Amino acid sequence: MSFHRNGASDKLSRRELHLETFEDVLKEARSLSRVGYHRVAKWSLGQICDHVSMFMNASLDGFPPAPFYASLIRPFARMMYLSKMLRNERMPAKLPTLKTLTPDEWAADDVAMPRLEAAIARVQDPNAQFVASPIFGELTDEQWRKVHLWHCQHHLEFLIPAARDVTAEG
């Protein structure tokens, strides 16, 4: 197996996950942290946890100003992507990431995990007040939670467990 400079393998392929709850997300992330993993794409577990945490927090605290073309692509994005996310369908590996939501290159798994836990607690709070999405516009609280769950699953699919986690099975 060969590895690129960023740690991603060119011999492994993305796996398929079916995470139905945020507890499933945390269980999967903790398991990967325990047993180790191989990267199919460029981000580590720490980077993924940071990225999805930043996105969750931005959905509550506000996003940076959207690019001028966001309002032009919003109807297309809602039709092409939002419906797939809400149905928990897989999408292409390469979707653009806002620079402000790009994780630090050296995000450590053990440091990023508590950030993920805190962000999940915030979005699960029944009193959470979500802001409009820069890409999809206004979403209901339930739609936002489904988008976040899909987003976590999407990124975690690019990490392949290095071993079977007998701790999680017991």
For the chain, the structural domain boundaries read: 22-90+100-162
Looking up tokens 């969750």, which residue turns up? 56
> For residues 31 and 168, what is the distance between their CA atoms, to the nearest angstrom?
7
> For residues 123 and 97, what is the distance between their CA atoms, to the nearest angstrom?
20
- Say if residue 112's pLDDT is above 80: yes
Mean pLDDT value of segment 124-152: 96
| H helix intervals, the chain | 22-35, 45-61, 70-77, 83-86, 109-124, 141-156, 166-169
Q: What are phi and psi of 29, to 5 degrees?
A: -65, -45
Could you tell me the pTM of the whole model?
0.87
At 90, the amino acid letter reads: R
Q: Can you read off the two tokens belonging to residue 106?
A: 């050296």
User: Considering the chain, what is the average pLDDT of its residues?
Assistant: 88
> For residues 72 and 155, what is the distance between their CA atoms, to the nearest angstrom?
27
- Say if residue 4's pLDDT is above 50: no
Q: Can you read off the two tokens belonging to residue 124?
A: 């699960």
Instruction: Read off the pLDDT band of 163 (50, 70, 90).
Output: confident
**Helix axes of 141-156 and 109-124: crossing angle, nearest 10 degrees:** 160
- Say if residue 6's pLDDT is above 70: no
Mean pLDDT value of segment 136-148: 97
Cβ–Cβ < 8 Å for 113, 152 = no
Instruction: Read off the pLDDT band of 93 (50, 70, 90).
Output: low
pLDDT, one tens digit per residue, over 40-90 is 988 999 999 999 999 999 999 999 888 888 889 899 989 989 999 999 998
- Say if residue 170's pLDDT is above 60: no
User: Which has the closest alpha carbon to 43: 32, 35, 34?
Assistant: 32
> For residues 150 and 18, what is the distance between their CA atoms, to the nearest angstrom?
9
